[in-house]
Chains A and B, each alone.
Chain A
């Protein structure tokens, strides 16, 4: 299967082997979870159509979700989930990928473009986009936190009733 080195030697497309993979995983995760409206803030970074090619047009497919028996045991195929993916190539050569749950093709293309742009090496662009992504991420964490606090309000506080002295 494709590894970074395979791709550089065996095919015309490239992966920068020295790239910070953890950073890329982070921004791809934020983009995957971002809602359509979150992308408005990134609009100015989306290049015009002439500046990129669609290597894989946004495509809806599925992934088979695996789980473990008992939560930690033997793997089983649980069920499928819809996923949209897209691969773009900027005229400058960077390949951008996006994979996200759901069937949003517009978001898929935009996310792939941002992924490509973030690999271009321009520090200003990267820092600006990062700060927007961090805002999106904060919003997501705040929503999670609120949901957890609503659940916490339904947490039972057991207390023992002590009968009065006879």
Chain B
């Protein structure tokens, strides 16, 4: 009986996860810079951007509940197989989420924002865009950015940046965001301010 080969996770679990972790760390430390994921680092399910798969493979495990938007449910068993991560019982119990930039619901502010004693118990949300360039320019400022940084992701719903501002106004609480498209990523930690240009 011939069966399609199982989609792989990391080609090298140790070096792969370290490389991706480094990329995410750099992206968070320098918000607005575009990080690139090497194609050979891991497999990814059909229709899921490589950067999304790579981030999830690296960051989630048996201890971190994950919430997948309905359009991404097809990757659920692949994710469970490679990471052992449990499904979040509800949005407010999740540590990681994968959503589409086009969906206005759930809003960023609907996800866990942490609390005063443990602000790190917030969610990290991976937002799938159509591209990280060519869209409306957004000015970012804040820690990790010398003066300002302009990014122009595409495929975001109308109120996305309003939503992000509402989230970031809760600093030090609030979720952190990773925008992904193809094999690229941009991190938007909750510490930055964002402003639509023009």
Contacts and interface: CB of A to CB of B under 8 A. Distances in A.
**Per the CB under 8 Å rule, do A and B touch in the complex?**
yes
Interface of A: 1-2, 6-7, 10-14, 53, 55-57, 59, 89, 92-93, 95
B9 to A, nearest CB: 7
Interface of B: 1-9, 13, 45, 74, 76-78, 80-82, 86-87
Contact of B8 (A6, A11, A55): A55
Contact of B76 (A10, A12, A13, A92): A10
Nearest to A54: B8
Looking at chain A's contact residues, the main secondary structure is mixed
Contacts, number: 44
9 nearest CB pairs, A to B: A93-B3, A11-B77, A13-B6, A12-B4, A10-B77, A2-B77, A14-B3, A55-B6, A2-B80
A10 B74 contact: yes
Given A1-B80, A6-B77, A89 B6 contact: yes
Contacts of A14: 3
Contacts of B82: 56
A95 to B, nearest CB: 7
A89 to B, nearest CB: 6
Given A7-B77, A11-B6, A59-B13, 5 more contacts: A2-B80, A12-B5, A55-B6, A89-B6, A95-B6
Nearest to B3: A93
